[in-house]
Amino acid sequence: MSCPKNNHKEKLRQETAELVKALRKGDSQPFNRLVMLYQTGIYNLALNYLKVPEEAKDITQDIFITAYRSLSMLRDDSKFSAWLYQIAVNHCRNRLKKLQRRGFFTSRSLDNPEQPIYLSNDDSPERQIEQKDRTRIVRKAIAAMPEAEKEVLIMRDLQEMTYEEISEVLGVPLGTVKSKLNRARNALKNKIKHLF
């Protein structure tokens, strides 16, 4: 019995390949559909890097513009997703470095512990405070991680990318992805276990 999540990913991969083929034939309309399919994931990735919604929105636009202009560099239509995420990771890394050089984050915490957290109304006030504290602690712990471990953790656990996709995006062997993810998860667990 196949997993619904895997079926969804396969359908997405097939639809993406068809859209890219149509795009290569000169029809620009399929690109709108590609943006619709991938904009949430790319935006979330950017937000996890930059922590500022306005910056994440701006760079998401830049990423799609770059993808559109660079489509001729994509070798395999079925690998559009990994190629797009590779562009996204590179753009996010560069923007983060540029913002840090300008001192953009000097008055802001990278983990933004004061960011509002929306909880369901049935939670008690005590539970809401406890959840807010946990979220703040986890954000701080993730923000303090080395970049290589942080991005693997974001891609796998927040973006739900496969190991193979992460390997392709980062251009590292599958074993490296798995070991980085294991190190990142253990480091995160060790940083926060005594707090919970």
pLDDT for 46-73, tens place per residue? 988 888 899 999 999 999 999 999 999 9
d(CA 65, CA 52): 20
Q: Which of 62-66, 158-162, 170-174 has the highest mean pLDDT?
A: 62-66
Structural domains in the chain, CATH included, are 1-107 (1.10.1740.10)
d(CA 6, CA 11): 9
171 φ, ψ (degrees, to nearest 5): 70, 35
Are the C-beta atoms of residues 55 and 99 closer than 8 Å to each other?
yes
- Is the confidence at residue 118, as pLDDT, over 50? no
d(CA 124, CA 5): 33
Which residue from 75, 74, 96, 73 is spatially nearest to 151, judged by alpha carbons? 96
Q: Is-above-0.85 flag for pTM? A: no
SS3 68: helix
Residue 13 burial class via C-beta count within 10 angstroms: exposed 0-12, middle 13-18, buried 19 and up:
middle
**Confidence band, pLDDT 50/70/90 cuts, at residue 114:** very low
Structure tokens that stand for 189 in this block: 């667990």
Are the C-beta atoms of residues 161 and 85 closer than 8 Å to each other?
yes
d(CA 86, CA 70): 12
